[in-house]
Amino acid sequence: MQLEPEDEQILNGEYGETRQKMMELLVGLGKVFGADELIPITSAQVSGASYKTIGKWGLEWLRKMDAKVVVPTVLNPIGMDRLRWKEMGIPEDFAAKQKEVVEAYERLGIELECTCTPYYLSITQFGEHLAWAESSAVCYANSVIGARTNREGGPAALAAAIIGKTPFYGLHIFKNRLPDVGVVIDEPSELKDAADFGALGYVAGKSIGNRIPFFTGIRPNRDQLKAMGAAMAASGAVALFHVDTITPETRFPTFKKDVPETIEVSMAEVREVFSAMDVDAVAVGCPHLSPEELETLATLLTGKTVTKPFFVFAARGVIADHPQAVTAIERSGAKVYADTCVVVSPALDRYDRIMVNSGKALAYVPTMCGAVARIGTLAECVTVATS
Ligand code: F3S
């Protein structure tokens, strides 16, 4: 791999051991994937931030790091709201360990915005190269924004944040971003809510795997694209998808719509994902709610009182910008938490049946929370939580 003189010095240990190890990681990754060079990135998003997922060995590794990130970097959700963790019922010992993890990242210069929706914080735009780790964020950045990132592991994203570069391979290269499988739906007009698109992504992702799908015949909005991509990233390993005339790269003259294979998804399969099971709790905001979703939820909950625990998750910056919506939601008894989520927090482990409005949460709640999951629209979640 061709390295700049300064990168060679970093690799030789002239800028300290942590940077040397991070450069070794990037160069090793580049060699495995056939990259010829490192390219600068404009931001990083680091996963492996919840103590529930990284545990004591991850914390040990972080404690040894001695460097600063050189590009804007945010964290994936951690295991609790940093300010309201007691209200969430987080045990003291977990909170203490989680705080250590957060402090370790803070020492590296990472901004304490812990979210899987960093794109709501205006840290990226079309065409930029990134090193993001969280699968739904990667899918949204590549597909909806038209930025370019591989689906990084947590350590690789951190290494890229510290070096400010990432190996040039995979989805950083335009020719690798063309679709290789088509997806059509038999009754696309039946797809109305973000949960419908989440369920579609949940079904389609299983057949797509890690390929790049090209959807035709649907016109999802940004929240619906977010829900569909997150679900495909979870039930499959999708890191980029295209929707004809909707996602930006399909409007390129060089975009090729020919695909060797097309998958047909029926609305009957999508409807089958929905159930009417009784639940113990409701959780929305996977991925974290957009400003529009927060406002819609506030409208739905106004004048109502929840009778079941109702967890709402969003980025701290989004919450701060919408105080009236948050007040309206919390007046119903629902709780709006920042920094964390249904899957990476231990707060929801105490429930056996959880209702969500997300295809991704539907895929992960059984394994990560040990609960049965039910999917419904945002309005259905409100109905169930207030009945
Ligand atoms: Fe985000 Fe947690 Fe869902 S990280 S995409 S809210 S599982």
Report whether pLDDT(142) > 90: yes
Q: Which has the minimum average pLDDT: 36-40, 57-61, 162-166? A: 57-61
Q: Which CATH number fits domain 5-174: 3.30.499, 3.30.70, 3.60.21, 3.20.14?
A: 3.30.499
**pLDDT at residue 357 is higher than 90:** yes
List every span in the chain annotated with CATH 3.40.1060.10.
178-272
Summarize pLDDT for 218-244 with one digit per residue, the tens. 999 999 999 999 999 999 999 999 999
Tell me how far the alpha carbon of residue 169 lies from the centroid of ligand 1, in angstroms.
26
Q: Which atom of ligand 1 is nearest to the CA of 343?
A: 7
**How do residues 6-31 score in pLDDT, each as one tens digit?**
999 999 999 999 999 999 999 999 99
- Contact yes or no for 69/44 (Cβ under 8 A): yes
Nearest CA to ligand 1 atom 1: 287
* Residue 163, pLDDT above cutoff 90: yes
What separation in Å is there between the alpha carbon of 44 and the centre of ligand 1?
17
Q: Give the residue-averaged pLDDT of 279-291.
A: 98
Per-residue pLDDT at 111: 85
Distance 270 CA to ligand 1 centre (A): 21
Q: Nearest C-alpha to atom 7 of ligand 1 is from which residue?
A: 343
Q: What is the pLDDT of residues 244-255, one digit of tens each?
A: 999 999 999 999
Q: Which two tokens stand for residue 215?
A: 């959807």
Looking at the chain, the whole-number percentage of residues with pLDDT higher than 70 is: 100
**pLDDT greater than 90 at residue 148:** yes
Give the separation between CA 229 and CA 244, rounded to whole angstroms.
Answer: 15
CATH of domain 281-386: 3.30.499.10
Q: Please state, rounded to an integer, the average pLDDT across all residues of the chain.
A: 97
Closest residue (by CA) to atom 2 of ligand 1? 341
The CATH number of 178-272, from 3.50.50.60, 3.40.50.150, 1.10.3720.10, 3.40.1060.10, is 3.40.1060.10
Distance 288 CA to ligand 1 centre (A): 7
In this structure, which residue's CA is closest to atom 3 in ligand 1? Answer: 286
Distance (Å) from CA 173 to ligand 1 centroid:
27
For 70-114, what is each residue's pLDDT tens digit?
999 999 999 999 999 999 999 999 999 999 999 999 999 998 899
Q: Cite the residue boundaries of each domain of the chain with CATH code 3.30.499.10.
A: 281-386
